[in-house]
Amino acid sequence: MRIAVLGAGAWGSALAISLSKRHQINLWTKDPDHAREMNERRINQSFLPGHALPSSLKITSELPEAIENAELALLVVPIAGLRETVRAIAASKFQAPIIWGCKGFESESSKLPHQVVEEEFPGILDCGVLSGPSFAEEVAQGLPTALTLASKDPDFSRQIATELHSPRLRIYTSHDVVGVETGGAVKNVITIAAGISDGIGFGHNARAALITRGLMEITRLGLGLGGSMNTFMGLAGVGDLLLTSTGDLSRNRQVGLMLAEGKTLEDILKVLGHVAEGVHTARSVLQLGNQLNIEMPITQAVCSILHDGVPARNAVEVLLNREQKTEIY
């Protein structure tokens, strides 16, 4: 299959490496210097160092060249760049299916990725979201990974999942686009909280409590937006949350750990050098929760630390001193 992978960050490059074993892949970056460097060195030193880019992988900074004759476009740009990329694809009269792998809410509109796609590419039918517990580093290494491909069209999701599926990259299908996208977005916010807790030294018990209560926040908001309960118990829900909240490869977890050390958000983002979607998603999550009258205490605490200057320990203490109540409600 001819696939255009649009976005040459860590995740896009890892998918390009993995899929190159079975498919013809074009990898696109909008930065000509980045494309030139990858072509010359056959490595993505900026985002995925240590992993050779296959010789069969074509790299370009020209979008028309990347999508020419493609049978599928896989959009792996950050959520902030999704609208611009989809708009450019739509303007090119691209006819093949598209799927996206970005996680988060668009900061300006608080919209999920599928809503952005529908606005910029009206009438598109063959499309869906690819999400789940996945560190780019491990996918690039060829370690076993399981993902969920969700589409409103079950036949489409089964068809594309069959094409992308392999023993080391297992693709499951779902019809719950809203649930899969919500799980992938909100878990980044909860992960920041888990990182803060670990950085303060509150221990494994506190982390388990945060993850469990965080899953409740994800589920409440997801159901409020129209998602399915089963989704939040699966790969795109609890699976993704567990991975990012406990794995040190998680950028959002690193944000939490450094916040606990008292570092400023500005300095943390400079150190990371990569997008940590939870930082930009937290406000949108809290705003949506307020609109739907859904209680989001962990998200509120993270927002107070990220954007209101509340010290990490103080915000966590507020969480710990919340009113005692029934666990499930």
Catalytic residues: 187
User: How far apart are alpha carbons 176 and 23 in whole angstroms?
Assistant: 27
How many whole angstroms separate alpha carbon 323 and alpha carbon 303? 20
End-to-end CA distance of the chain: 47
Which stretch of DSSP H or E encloses residue 16? Answer: helix 10-19
- Quote the Cα angle for 120-221-86, to 5°: 15
Q: Where are the alpha helices (DSSP H) in 201-272?
A: 203-224, 229-232, 240-246, 251-260, 265-272
Other CB atoms within 10 Å distance of the CB of residue 95: 10
- Backbone torsions φ then ψ of 312, nearest 5 degrees: -55, -45
Q: Which residues pair with 118 in a beta bridge?
A: none
